[in-house]
């Protein structure tokens, strides 16, 4: 069981009434808490966790928006981003009944001590437990909290060198409020892509896919991410660039490349290297290993994978293994752009 869940279970007697669990891991916590409270609701913005949670409970919600109903209590699992913590606290506090209680649980190395200070504006706080390298904090709401909708948390920036492309990002989304240097290098090397559908894998705020859609309005662009905030930001970015969400624009919540469409002309990505607070290359290794089977291989189109990655990452051998080759299209500022074409 996740250590944060273990800490919650050590303090079971504090939980009662209708309880919202936000950002929870997909472990047995729901089963253990259920007999204690009158109702439980699970809100996850991670599609992998959400999919696993739906096997454990019918009351699950995948979104960047909190559920509409009101709760007696909410337990927030501390996310990596400070801005996302602010967002969750504010929006969830606004969903609590009068005299509602907010709980915040997180690992010390994820910054729970610092995050507990973010709780203070909402009422009196108390550290309930410290165990398993985690802490659990409680806050009794001191008064009603007004809601601030998702759109008001967005940051917009304009990429002048890239045809004035507008990017709208949200708290917790990769490279919030600015263009990543790796992505910038990739955008400069996106010419001569094959015909056919394009996939922006791990789309974040949708910067790569929006750029591609503006350049190739006739081609279908799929935007895929595991994170509901990334997909919500992508929606905002599409609107900011006047790109209509018609049949040629597809947003996909997915656990990884296995959930992607097939017969693609190209997969373009600045692929992930994190899972929560931990470094993880699993989703990218899956991408490099399985991309071939999602790419077109007809006489007309030879599907292609084009990615940018930190130069130190050992991706070329993986690509050579699966595609029989790996071309370096560009390098700079510690990044490489790689190209592999299905033969």
Ligand X SMILES: C[S@@+](CC[C@H](N)C(=O)[O-])C[C@H]1O[C@@H](n2cnc3c(N)ncnc32)[C@H](O)[C@@H]1O
Q: Which is nearer to ligand X, 51 or 183 (CB)?
A: 183
Residue 298: CB minimum distance to ligand X, A: 26
Tokens read off for 206: 């949708």
* Rounded distance between C-alpha atoms, residue 244 and residue 240, angstroms: 10
Q: Is 55 in contact with 28 (CB distance < 8 Å)?
A: no
Binding mask 220-259 for ligand X (x = CB under 6 A): ----xxxx--x-----------------------xxx---
- The interface with ligand X within residues 85-104 (CB under 6 A) comprises none
* Rounded distance between C-alpha atoms, residue 186 and residue 115, angstroms: 35
Chosen residue from 283, 291, 295, 301 binding ligand X by CB under 6 A? 283
Q: Which is nearer to ligand X, 19 or 208 (CB)?
A: 208
Site stretch for ligand X (CB under 6 A), options 5-13, 88-96, 172-180, 320-328: 172-180
Residue 69: CB minimum distance to ligand X, A: 27
Q: For residue 193, give the DSSP letter.
A: P
- The interface with ligand X within residues 186-215 (CB under 6 A) comprises 202-204, 207-208
* Rounded distance between C-alpha atoms, residue 9 and residue 34, angstroms: 11
Under rule CB under 6 A, residue 260 binds ligand X: no
Residue 52: CB minimum distance to ligand X, A: 13
Q: What are the helix (H) ranges across the chain? A: 3-10, 29-33, 47-53, 82-93, 112-119, 181-187, 207-215, 228-240, 282-290, 315-323
Residue 189: CB minimum distance to ligand X, A: 13
Q: Is 223 in contact with 250 (CB distance < 8 Å)?
A: yes
Q: Is 79 in contact with 23 (CB distance < 8 Å)?
A: yes
- Closest CA relative to residue 295, chosen from 285, 286, 287, 304: 304
- Contact residues toward ligand X (CB under 6 A) are 174-175, 180, 183, 202-204, 207-208, 224-227, 230, 254-256, 270, 272, 283
């Amino acid at each position: 069981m996740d250590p944060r869940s273990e800490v919650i279970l050590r303090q079971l007697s504090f939980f009662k009434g209708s309880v919202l669990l936000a950002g929870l891991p997909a472990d047995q916590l729901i089963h253990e808490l259920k007999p204690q409270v009158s109702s439980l609701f699970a809100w996850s913005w991670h599609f992998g966790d959400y999919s696993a949670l739906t096997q454990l409970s019918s009351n699950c919600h995948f979104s960047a928006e909190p559920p509409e109903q009101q709760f007696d209590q909410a337990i927030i699992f501390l996310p990596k981003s400070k801005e996302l913590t602010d967002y969750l606290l504010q929006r969830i506090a606004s969903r609590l009944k009068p005299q509602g209680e907010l709980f915040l649980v997180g690992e010390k190395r994820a910054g729970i001590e610092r995050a507990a200070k973010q709780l203070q504006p909402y009422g009196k706080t108390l550290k309930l437990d410290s165990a398993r390298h985690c802490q659990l904090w409680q806050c009794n709401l001191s008064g009603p909290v007004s809601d601030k909708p998702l759109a008001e948390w967005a940051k917009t920036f304009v990429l002048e060198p890239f045809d004035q492309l507008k990017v709208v990002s949200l708290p917790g989304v990769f490279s919030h409020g600015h263009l990543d240097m790796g992505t910038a290098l990739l955008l400069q090397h996106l010419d001569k892509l094959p015909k056919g559908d394009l996939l922006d894998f791990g789309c974040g705020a949708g910067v790569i896919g929006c750029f591609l859609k503006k350049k190739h309005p006739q081609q279908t662009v799929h935007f895929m991410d595991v994170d509901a905030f990334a997909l919500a930001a992508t929606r905002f970015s599409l609107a900011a660039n006047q790109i209509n969400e018609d049949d040629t624009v597809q947003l996909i919540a997915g656990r990884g490349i296995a959930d992607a469409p097939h017969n693609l002309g190209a997969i373009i990505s600045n692929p992930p290297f994190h899972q929560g607070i931990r470094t993880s290359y699993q989703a990218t290794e899956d991408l490099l290993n399985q991309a071939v089977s999602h790419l077109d291989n007809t006489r007309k189109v030879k599907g292609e994978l084009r990615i940018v990655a930190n130069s130190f990452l050992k991706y070329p051998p993986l690509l050579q293994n699966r595609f029989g080759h790996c071309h370096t299209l560009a390098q700079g500022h510690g990044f490489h752009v790689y190209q592999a074409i299905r033969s």
